[in-house]
Structure 1
Amino acid sequence: MKKIIIKLSRKKQWLLWGSVLLLLLFFVLNQDLISLLLDGDVEKIRNFLHKNMSYAFIFMALVMLIQNSFTVFPLILVITINITLFGFWNGFLWSWFTSILSAIIVFYGTRYILQDMIIEKFNARLIEKVDSSGLAYVFQARIFPFVPTSLVNILGGLSTIRILPFSVATAIGNFFYFFVLALIPAGILKANFNEYVIWIIVLAAVLLYYFIKMIRKKRKA
């Protein structure tokens, strides 16, 4: 660890250690809530945060940032808690907005602070795929559930993709994917929707991906 930190400039070292200390402080000050999150106890978390809704927004934003950095908490759990606290639309939109903001933070942190430390630990071919596909690769990774959000953010930071296409792909992809996930805890799926609506939403996201890919090919041609 010491050898790795020596490679960083003094400014980067301050940023790195500052981030680590803030993260530790967050865990220390919220030990009870973090334990409930790890247990997946949505009801107790709601009762705990419902007394202070202003802090609930901040806390859940930080949880989303952690989820986008390390994937400690399942994404469906974070969205479920947001919807339970703030209602369906507010919970969905807060989950979506904070996911974009968190992705950008991790993207910049990886590119400008951690890149020299971790780039050797990732497959060069995987990074090259992001370089070559750019927006299309990020969008595809966002709408398919088997790719961790943290991995997409880190690969984006290690690659040469610009922040604008990365943010656009993240915003569009997460909107579709988060909306599908939000239907589950909200109970809307059981009340007013059926499985065909879910598949239509997923299909629309996939078609949009291939449409973007087709446009990129035409531009290159």
Structure 2
Amino acid sequence: MKKWYTGLTYAAMLLIFFLYKDEILFWMQNGNAPLYVIFLIAMGFIVIPVVPYKVIIGLLGFVYGPWIGALISWSAASVASVLIFLMARTIFHNHARAFLSKFNRLEKLHERIERNPFMTILFARLMPFIPQAVVNIYPAVLSIRLLPFATASAIGKIPAMLLFAFIGSSLTSDTRSLLLSIGVYVLFLLITFLIYRIWQQKK
């Protein structure tokens, strides 16, 4: 029955989006949409990833500016991550395990996240090549406490949210700022990866 509920939820959200996509875009482009509605829509795209969330961040940055766009994106993603974590731990526990079985090389992550859950989740959030769905679900399956998960997730999401909100706000106007934002983010990733390697060697 849970599979049917999940499928119906996906279908309902897709139907609502396609039926009201023009109104939603009009609201956003004219700044008339209440922020809580935009927040809920952004959170919905995390829970049910109809389109990549980076696109949503860029759109919010384009409409509301980089700082407000990043703030909405970050808060929605942080709350949605906690909801997914809780659902994976309770309602969809068996489905979560089946989902994780599709990914290889989780043994190292298992060892690291049990030894130091906060730092492992933080680095996993900062590194874009790690699937974020895995970061949401795996700690729940391993019974990691909610507080370190939520805190590390919220902190680790900040750089990417700022980057894509700045990219969205710069797409039609400031190419120099766009390139600078990307360059700073690439440098940040290199430094983060270096710190991660040093941290691993010390352990």
Task: State whether TM-score is above 0.5.
Answer: yes
Q: Show CA shifts across 1:120-167 (max 9, x none).
A: 453473662433441222112211112232221111221221111111
Task: Give the counterpart of 1:62 among 23, 26, 41.
Answer: 41
In structure 2, relative to structure 1, the CA distance for the partners of 1:189 and 1:45 (3 Å cut) is farther
Q: Show CA shifts across 1:35-67 (max 9, x none).
A: x8xxxxxxx96435335411x642453343333
74-83 or 96-105: bigger deviation: 74-83
Task: Give the counterpart of 1:49 among 21, 28, 31.
Answer: 28
Structure 2: gaps spanning 5 or more residues: none
Task: Give the counterpart of 2:156 among 173, 177, 180.
Answer: 173
Query: Normalising to structure 1: TM-score of the pair?
Result: 0.68
199-208 or 104-113: bigger deviation: 199-208
Equivalent positions of 1:1-221 (< 5 A) are 17=5, 21-32=8-19, 46-47=25-26, 49-51=28-30, 52-54=32-34, 57-67=36-46, 69-123=47-101, 125=107, 128-129=110-111, 130-187=113-170, 190-191=176-177, 194=180, 196-203=183-190, 205-206=192-193, 213=199
Q: Show CA shifts across 1:102-129 (max 9, x none).
A: 1000000100111133314534736624
Q: Which has the higher contact order (CA 8 A, sep 6+)?
A: 2
Following TM superposition, by how much is the alpha carbon of 1:205 offset from its aligned partner in structure 2, in angstroms? Answer: 4.4
Counterpart code for 2:55: L
Query: Normalising to structure 2: TM-score of the pair?
Result: 0.73
Following TM superposition, by how much is the alpha carbon of 1:200 offset from its aligned partner in structure 2, in angstroms? Answer: 4.4
- Two-structure CA RMSD over aligned residues (Å): 3.5
In structure 2, relative to structure 1, the CA distance for the partners of 1:32 and 1:190 (3 Å cut) is farther
State the aligned residue count: 192
Percent identity between matched residues is 21
In structure 2, relative to structure 1, the CA distance for the partners of 1:204 and 1:189 (3 Å cut) is farther
Would the aligned equivalents of 1:79 and 1:182 in 2 still touch at CA under 8 Å? yes
Q: Show CA shifts across 1:72-120 (max 9, x none).
A: 3212201011112222211011101111001000000100111133314
In structure 2, relative to structure 1, the CA distance for the partners of 1:196 and 1:81 (3 Å cut) is closer
181-190 or 19-28: bigger deviation: 19-28
In structure 2, relative to structure 1, the CA distance for the partners of 1:77 and 1:121 (3 Å cut) is closer
In the alignment, the residues of structure 1 paired with residue 120 and residue 90 of structure 2 have an alpha-carbon distance, to the nearest angstrom, of: 21
